[in-house]
């Protein structure tokens, strides 16, 4: 029996940055991003899954207010990558210069090779990656804590 309902991907919608993505952009922890939201420095909106989504423009303004230099929007990275491809830049050179993953450089290279008449590229994979799932980081920390607990039995404080 065929299932008529499309699969419910856990990939977050592309309508803003997650708290961890903002923290990485600003070079701070997620708690600092939370405090910036409480102070009103950042004004996120909740998506359908209840995840706070931050407007990239707000993040750039917050970075400027904090004195963070070198913050680049996705379009800036793509533009610089395309310029490097035009000049014959290799994968390792682009990754080193732009500080992005090789997978992102390969994706940008495919875009650079395409024509405006070409259909948009299909997604490379079906499931969410570690950085795409907002709960992945939390699950990773839990798994590491659990593994550390197995490797080192907890020491209990003696009762008085």
Work out the angle at residue 44's Cα, subtended by the Cα atoms of residues 125 and 133, and round it to the nearest 5 degrees.
25
Query: So what's the pLDDT on residue 104?
Result: 86
Whole-number pLDDT of residue 13: 47
Taking the whole predicted model, whether its pTM rises above 0.75 is answered as no
Of the ranges 81-90, 105-114, 126-135, 138-147, which one carries the lowest mean pLDDT score?
Answer: 126-135
Inter-residue long-range contacts of 103-108, CB under 8 Å, 24+ positions, other chains counted: 104/77, 105/81, 108/77, 108/78, 108/81, 108/82
Higher pLDDT, 131 or 139: 139
Looking at residues 56-71, what average pLDDT do you find?
74
């Amino acid at each position: 029996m065929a299932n008529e309902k499309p699969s419910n991907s856990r990939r977050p919608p592309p309508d803003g940055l997650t708290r961890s993505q903002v923290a990485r952009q600003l070079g701070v922890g997620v708690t600092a991003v939370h405090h910036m939201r409480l102070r009103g420095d950042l004004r996120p909106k909740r998506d359908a899954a209840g995840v706070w989504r931050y407007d990239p423009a707000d993040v750039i303004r917050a970075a400027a207010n904090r004195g963070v230099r070198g913050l680049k929007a996705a379009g800036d990275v793509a533009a610089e990558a395309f310029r490097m491809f035009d000049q014959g830049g290799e994968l390792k050179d682009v990754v080193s210069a732009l500080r992005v993953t090789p997978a992102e450089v390969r994706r940008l290279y495919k875009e650079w090779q395409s024509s405006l008449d070409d259909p948009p590229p299909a997604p490379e994979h079906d499931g969410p990656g570690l950085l795409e799932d907002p709960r992945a980081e939390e699950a990773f920390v839990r798994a590491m804590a659990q593994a550390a607990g197995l490797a080192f039995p907890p020491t209990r404080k003696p009762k008085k």
